[in-house]
Structure 1
Amino acid sequence: MDALWTAAPTLRNILLALIVIGLALGLAALLRSLIARALPDRLAHETRGMPVTAAFGIMVIVIYILVAIFAPLIAPYPERMVVGGGYLPWSAEFPLGTDKLGRDMLSRLIFAARNTVGIAFATTLLAFLVGSFLGLWAALLGGWTDQILSRIVDALMAIPALIFSMLLLTIFGTSIPTLILVIATVDATRVFRLARSVAQGIVVMDYVEAALLRGEGTFRLIRREILPNALAPLVAEFGLRFCFVFLTISALSFLGLGIKPPTADWGSMVRENATLITFGDITPLLPAGAIALLTVAVNFVVDWQLHRASGLKD
């Protein structure tokens, strides 16, 4: 048995991965039970009905948020400090080794959570504020306003998002504010389409007609009548759109047009240390794994929210 275990590293890695996944799901189930006990009865009932995958997703998201907030306290070294030689192997002093400039990889991985996730969240929030308002407004007013906004959005959506973002960043520069504005502009078109589609089924309802007859203004109608009834699909889309924005920022950083060095970012960390893969070092895959894990976690929570909003029962 020991010989088989030693001779089959692939099998060993698969078994270790399965053990880690099992422990993570078990911890998520325990977290779900603890949260249900601490909440009031109505909320506790909903929490108990939460699938283990959603609990796992919430747990991962909370861990990422805590790491991003407390990065200076968690990281063993400052984000930009050169602490040793280039490409040092894993050791007690440098648990994940160093990059080509001699900066601690673990510290940069931790600080990258703050940079990458924070910028992605700010971008998604801006895209949703602009796209959802314009979509609801266009559906409510209709006529030429709806037609003009829809045709502008159609023209922007005809260009592939990544290529359009690269073009705009090449023209306007790659500072963080420009990065947020460019990606938010591109993604606001997708949010506009969803918000307009959902609102078109709401503006013809009797309670909206009654509010119009009462003389309520446009903004009050959007805030009081349309938005509450369109909130469920928009919240679910927020989670999905966050994943797309997150992956777009990482892809742009990998291509050299995203978050600029020396700021730590998972996409640029993969590019900067990709040489190590040819020597069998998995360090460059760790930032990619951090990207994938957060994407999967957010999608687990979004799937649960979509299931709840649909009203379907298991």
Structure 2
Amino acid sequence: MSRDEAVAEAPVVDTSPVRLNALQRLVQRFSVLGLLGLVIVLFWLLVAFVGPLVAPYKGGALTSTEIFGRYSAAYPLGTDYLGRDMLSRILYGARYTVGLALAAAMLASTVGTFFGLLAAVSGRWVDEVLSRLFDALISIPSKVLALVVIAAFGSSIPMLTTVAALAYIPGAFRISRSLALNLMGLEYVQVARARGEGLLYIARVEVLPNMIHPMLADFGLRFVFIVLLLSGLSFLGLGVQPPNADWGSLVRENIGGLSEGAPAVLMPAVAIATLTIGMNLLIDNLRRRSRSHGDA
């Protein structure tokens, strides 16, 4: 039999059931509300990445002579206090609200988890020094810390990301340290120690993988806090600066239309609300899954 004939007679494997089963397993991991939260979060992440590419107008373009315009076919979310398209402004603003919060939350969770794991595994004086340091940081309210740092160093994009991360690193440290200390007392970790495994191996192989679910939930919580912190700073005029604007800035710019019920005030607030509510629904699902995983 020739090679071509063998290929032609080879059975065709239908992989669609495999793909369907994978999709079913994914859906089964989420409750209805958890799935709704996932869809909302993924939607806003997609908007943050591709929003400027699909926006009807440039973010700062003056497109209408009507200020605080109502919903219309030409301007689905109305116009702002200068006559700019609010749909375009929100799509452009998602880059800063979602992007900065995502970067700051990743930085806070990564640094906090690293030091929390280091403190739990090392023990003794390392744990004591790190715990006292982060206890001192966590005693400073996040908004006060942000106001002081921004007043001293300005409100550039890197500075906003850094100060937002710095405000929530101590919380991530305490959560990760507590989780790691609990795991260090479990039997399989003691067995690894008895085998003579080093601290790096224990932290990387035995402890860290079992912290993933609760730390993902904590990451989502940090993300929500940072969205609200950065939006609050922008509302005070200390966040993202013109000509750029995040959703908090859009609320501040258009606050004059509040008495008129202008969509320009409502829509950025709705965007912030849906993002935070969606993330909270997803966090609740992750927490329930983490508890059931722990019970198993």
Q: TM-score range by the shorter chain?
A: 0.7 to 0.9
Distance 2:234 2:18 in 1: 41
Matches within 5 A, 1:67-106: 67-85=47-65, 87-90=67-70, 91-106=72-87
- Residue in 2 that maps onto 1:30: none
Find out whether 1:55 has 2:35 as its counterpart.
Answer: yes
Moved over 6 A (4+): none
Is the CA contact 2:37–2:277 (under 8 Å) kept in the aligned structure 1? yes
Distance 2:66 2:96 in 1: 23
Q: Hey, what does 1:11 align to over in structure 2?
A: none
| SS class of match (1:144) | helix
Distance 2:18 2:107 in 1: 34
Is 1:143 aligned to residue 129 of structure 2? Answer: no
SS in 1 for 2:57: coil
Give the equivalent residue in structure 1 for 2:182: 201
Whole-angstrom CA distance in 1 between matches of 2:76 and 2:21: 44
Secondary structure in 2 matching 1:193 = helix
1:133-162: CA deviations, max 9, x gaps? 100110111111111111111111111111
- Is the 1:67–1:74 Cα contact (8 Å) retained in structure 2? no
Quick check: 1:305 aligned with 2:283?
no
**Cα distance in structure 2, aligned partners of 1:49 and 1:139:** 31
Note the 1:31-180 alignment, pairs <5 A.
39=19, 41=21, 44-45=24-25, 47-48=27-28, 50-85=30-65, 87-90=67-70, 91-180=72-161
> What is the alpha-carbon distance in structure 2 between the residues aligned to residue 229 and residue 235 of structure 1?
11
Amino acid at match of 2:38: I
Equivalent residue runs for 1:237-276 within 5 Å? 237-276=218-257
Q: What's the secondary structure of 2:184's corresponding residue?
A: coil
Of the two structures, which has the highest relative contact order with CA contacts closer than 8 Å and spacing of 6 or more?
2
Query: What SS is found at the alignment partner of 2:110?
Result: helix
Q: Match of 1:212?
A: 193
**Farther-moved stretch of structure 1 (227-236 vs 83-92):** 83-92
Change beyond 3 A, Cα 1:284–1:38: farther
CA RMSD of aligned residues (A): 2.2
Q: Name which of structure 1's ranges 243-252 and 77-86 shifts more when overlaid on structure 2.
A: 77-86
Higher alpha-carbon deviation: 154-163 or 38-47: 38-47
How far apart are the structure 1 equivalents of 2:275 and 2:49? 16
Change (3 A) 1:61 1:153: same
* Cα 1:297–1:38 shift into 2, 3 Å: farther
Distance in 1 between residues matched to 2:108 and 2:49, nearest whole Å: 23
Kindly name which structure, 1 or 2, has the bigger radius of gyration based on alpha carbons: 2
Q: CA deviation at 1:50?
A: 2.9
Say whether the 8 Å CA contact 1:94–1:106 is kept in structure 2.
yes
Identical residues among aligned pairs (%): 43
* Secondary structure, counterpart of 1:311 in structure 2: helix
Provide the TM-score with structure 2 as the length reference.
0.87
What is the rounded CA distance, in whole Å, between the counterparts of 2:68 and 2:213 in structure 1? 49
Unmatched 5+ residue regions in structure 1? 1-36
- Other structure's SS at 1:169 match: helix
Unpaired segments ≥5 residues, structure 2? 1-16
Contact 1:85 1:98 in 2 (8 A): no
